[in-house]
Structure 1
Amino acid sequence: MPAHTGPAPLRAPGRDAPPHEPDLRHHGDAEVRGADGGLTDLAVNVRTGTPPAWLKTRIAASLDTLAAYPDGGAARRAVAARHGLPVERVLLTAGAAEAFVLIARAVRARRPVVVHPQFTEPEAALRDAGHEVARVLLDARDGFRLDPAAVPEDADLVVVGNPTNPTSVLHPAEVLARLARPGRTLVVDEAFMDAVPGEREALAGRTDLPGLVVLRSLTKTWGLAGLRIGYALAAPDTVAALERAQPLWPVSTPALAAAEACCTPRALAEAEAAAREIAVDRAHLLARLGEFGQIRAAAPAAGPFVLIRLPEADAVRAALRARGFAVRRGDTFPGLGPDWLRLAVRDRATTDRFAAALGEVLT
């Protein structure tokens, strides 16, 4: 793709709007809903084969204590220890999605900005809370890289993903750190960071950046989307403000058991091994996609998914579904359009079957 210089455009809803306003509430699970298990799922970014048996056992053991109200103390301490933080800097949430709602309700912001393309729930939550949201749109011609100068100086709430869904771009930590400043809340969504070997470029555990809020999810790597568990890492006063916006007992006892279990040395080692395997499988997927001249993949990719651009992507998506493969449409992400698709990284055998089906469609 040709080089692109200059800041990405800033766009507020209703002003210089794109030809269509994306559906911010569309998520990958919609692509497989009602399929009765008949589709190979490349649309949802949850690691296959999860949760592992040992995690299921830990969760099942917690069912004997369901008569008592949830006590998040042990899980909170486990998350804090995992990131080398005091417990006052940890808030457990019902998935990272709940944290976006809490931020939208609890953080007073006059000028919230969301960096797109990225997960759409942060903007949807901000809008639902009555905020007027501005967008910084990153450009495919520049590899969706972030120039901190593109973010307005007066933005007092900035939301960015790392690695970003759906682009799979991993922004350098020092670039994101340049966005932090007094008087600004910087929200970095690291829901997929544990799928990056070594979690390089992570900001979780940093306490030197003013206004930093890091969000993590345990649903992707561990296959717990139905259990809803994640957490926020922030300064104690921010954690306290977010906690006041939560209902009582927001995280269930089984989810708390899962959070504690996923922070053990054994679990962290397993997640690291899975991240390295994903990197190998992703390289295979990109190599197979490279066999088709009409496909352009956003690169370099760092997450457990890749973003591709091809003509008539919507028709291709429908044809792939008819051949048993569900892929994620891209036009519901601000900054993308109908010629984009997102593909979850799967094992090499699945990728080869998908490539064969894709070849049939494209020819």
Structure 2
Amino acid sequence: MRDDGAALVDLAVNVRADTPPPWLREEIAGSLSSLAAYPDGRAARAAVAARHGLPVERVLLTAGAAEAFVLLARALKVRRPVVVHPQFTEPEAALRDAGHTVDRVLLRERDGFRLDPAAVPEEADLVVIGNPTNPTSVLHPAETVVRLARPGRTLVVDEAFMDAVPGEREALAGRTDVPGLVVLRSLTKTWGLAGLRIGYVLAAPEMIAELERAQPLWPVSTPALAAAEACVAPRALAEAGHAAHRIAGDRAHLVAGLAAFAARGVRVVEPAEGPFVLVRMPGAAGVRRRLRELGHAVRRGDTFPGLGQEWVRVAVRDRVTVNGFLRALSAALDPPG
């Protein structure tokens, strides 16, 4: 909220704005009559497995992707974990909290924050990367990511935003030919379920069994299980596919609008493929403050390893909202005085 109590237009969070849809709220509400019983995840697990063409032994349901990072950090006996940055900070935090010493590979702005597999130390036995990556919005080619795989190495690919990519091109979910591959998916971003906590892990059966042993009993609630089953049904997949194309169009509109400020030092990381864009601008901290005074919130970038105070992340919204943001940005870029 602003100081005057008016609501901010939120372009800081990366959850789709028009979610959860009414039909999903109804599915979740319908599960409440079963709350007296302990959660039974078999149907949801089978539905996720079918969605990716996998046996159920390759699926583990989790309380969001964040729980999956904690399980991996606690269950795996690794000597040299490496996290590829800039990216979501929770994987590294979970590893450090579990007592691991974590090495960082920092992708470079001059390379467009694109992955160079040779930059990852050969001796790394755990590698974590996002695809598409938060906050850079870079979509790494699947075969480039696969080049990180090695016998004896666990390769964790966070695909929390992959369903926002039309056709989910470059996805590794469903692949069984990549040694040590662990794919994480979240249902909280596309469907607006951050408060419900639901996601899943796709991996070899022995890895799933190891993670399941580290998981507490009944970690996923009955309403979250109902949501998981509903969100991988054909109707939901079709809706997500349409949303991905709409997001791509709205993102192009946002990027074009930001490009108009190039002479004022604004630069967008391109090509952007996620439901957000990473933007570099001079005096970003002051710009963020002035945007907030004008009723718009964007995400600061300097909390992501490898980025400085001149970076912000902007969520993709509908064109009317984006146009309002661009007008506010034009005013916020003007120095006070």
**Fold shared per TM-score above 0.5:** yes
Q: TM-score, normalised by structure 2?
A: 0.97
User: Which residue does the alignment assign to 1:312?
Assistant: 283
Cα distance change, pair 133–268 in 1 and its aligned pair in 2 (3 A): same
User: Which residue does the alignment assign to 1:79?
Assistant: 48
Could you tell me how far 1:34 is from its partner in structure 2? 9.9
Letter aligned with residue 118 of structure 1 = Q
The answer to whether structure 1 residue 173 and structure 2 residue 153 are counterparts is no
Q: Find the partner of 2:304 among 333, 348, 355.
A: 333
User: Which residue does the alignment assign to 1:355?
Assistant: 326
User: Which residue does the alignment assign to 2:32?
Assistant: 63
Unaligned runs of 5+ in 2: none
User: What whole-Å deviation, never above 9, does each CA across 1:23-65 have from its counterpart, x for those lacking one?
Assistant: xxxxxxxxx7999771111000000110000000000000000
Distance in 2 of aligned mates of 1:313 and 1:246:
41
Distance in 2 of aligned mates of 1:152 and 1:241:
25
Letter aligned with residue 164 of structure 1 = T
User: Which residue does the alignment assign to 2:292?
Assistant: 321
Could you tell me how far 1:243 is from its partner in structure 2? 0.6
The answer to whether structure 1 residue 259 and structure 2 residue 228 are counterparts is yes
Letter aligned with residue 81 of structure 2 = P
CA contact (8 A) 2:2 2:295 kept: no
Distance in 1 of aligned mates of 2:14 and 2:86:
16
Aligned residue for 2:312, secondary structure, equals strand
Distance in 1 of aligned mates of 2:25 and 2:168:
25
User: Which residue does the alignment assign to 1:126?
Assistant: 95
Unaligned runs of 5+ in 1: 1-31
CA contact (8 A) 2:139 2:272 kept: yes
Distance in 2 of aligned mates of 1:63 and 1:35:
38
The answer to whether structure 1 residue 343 and structure 2 residue 314 are counterparts is yes
Could you tell me how far 1:82 is from its partner in structure 2? 0.1
Alpha carbon RMSD of aligned pairs, Å? Answer: 1.2
Q: Find the partner of 2:255 among 279, 286, 289.
A: 286
Note the 1:167-206 alignment, pairs <5 A. 167-206=136-175
Distance in 1 of aligned mates of 2:4 and 2:237:
33
User: What whole-Å deviation, never above 9, does each CA across 1:249-300 have from its counterpart, x for those lacking one?
Assistant: 0000000000000011100000000000000000000000011021000000
Letter aligned with residue 83 of structure 1 = H
User: What whole-Å deviation, never above 9, does each CA across 1:131-154 have from its counterpart, x for those lacking one?
Assistant: 000000000111001110000000
Q: TM-score, normalised by structure 1?
A: 0.90
Letter aligned with residue 55 of structure 2 = P
Cα distance change, pair 274–158 in 1 and its aligned pair in 2 (3 A): same
* Matched residues, number: 332
User: Which residue does the alignment assign to 1:219?
Assistant: 188
Distance in 2 of aligned mates of 1:135 and 1:112:
9
Aligned residue for 2:256, secondary structure, equals helix
Letter aligned with residue 125 of structure 2 = D
Could you tell me how far 1:181 is from its partner in structure 2? 1.2
User: Which residue does the alignment assign to 2:14?
Assistant: 45
User: What whole-Å deviation, never above 9, does each CA across 1:162-186 have from its counterpart, x for those lacking one?
Assistant: 0000000000000011111110000
Distance in 1 of aligned mates of 2:332 and 2:179:
50
Distance in 2 of aligned mates of 1:162 and 1:218:
15
Could you tell me how far 1:231 is from its partner in structure 2? 0.2
Letter aligned with residue 245 of structure 2 = R
Cα distance change, pair 34–56 in 1 and its aligned pair in 2 (3 A): farther
Could you tell me how far 1:362 is from its partner in structure 2? 1.1
The answer to whether structure 1 residue 115 and structure 2 residue 94 are counterparts is no
Letter aligned with residue 86 of structure 1 = P
Cα distance change, pair 251–36 in 1 and its aligned pair in 2 (3 A): farther
User: What whole-Å deviation, never above 9, does each CA across 1:51-110 have from its counterpart, x for those lacking one?
Assistant: 000000000000000000000000000000000000000000000010000000001110
Distance in 1 of aligned mates of 2:319 and 2:15:
16
Q: Find the partner of 2:112 among 116, 122, 143.
A: 143
Aligned residue for 1:287, secondary structure, equals helix
% identical aligned pairs: 76
Letter aligned with residue 285 of structure 1 = L
Aligned residue for 2:271, secondary structure, equals coil
The answer to whether structure 1 residue 229 and structure 2 residue 198 are counterparts is yes
Letter aligned with residue 57 of structure 1 = E
Distance in 2 of aligned mates of 1:106 and 1:184:
14
Cα distance change, pair 229–139 in 1 and its aligned pair in 2 (3 A): same
Letter aligned with residue 352 of structure 1 = N
Distance in 2 of aligned mates of 1:36 and 1:261:
37
Could you tell me how far 1:361 is from its partner in structure 2? 1.1
The answer to whether structure 1 residue 268 and structure 2 residue 217 are counterparts is no
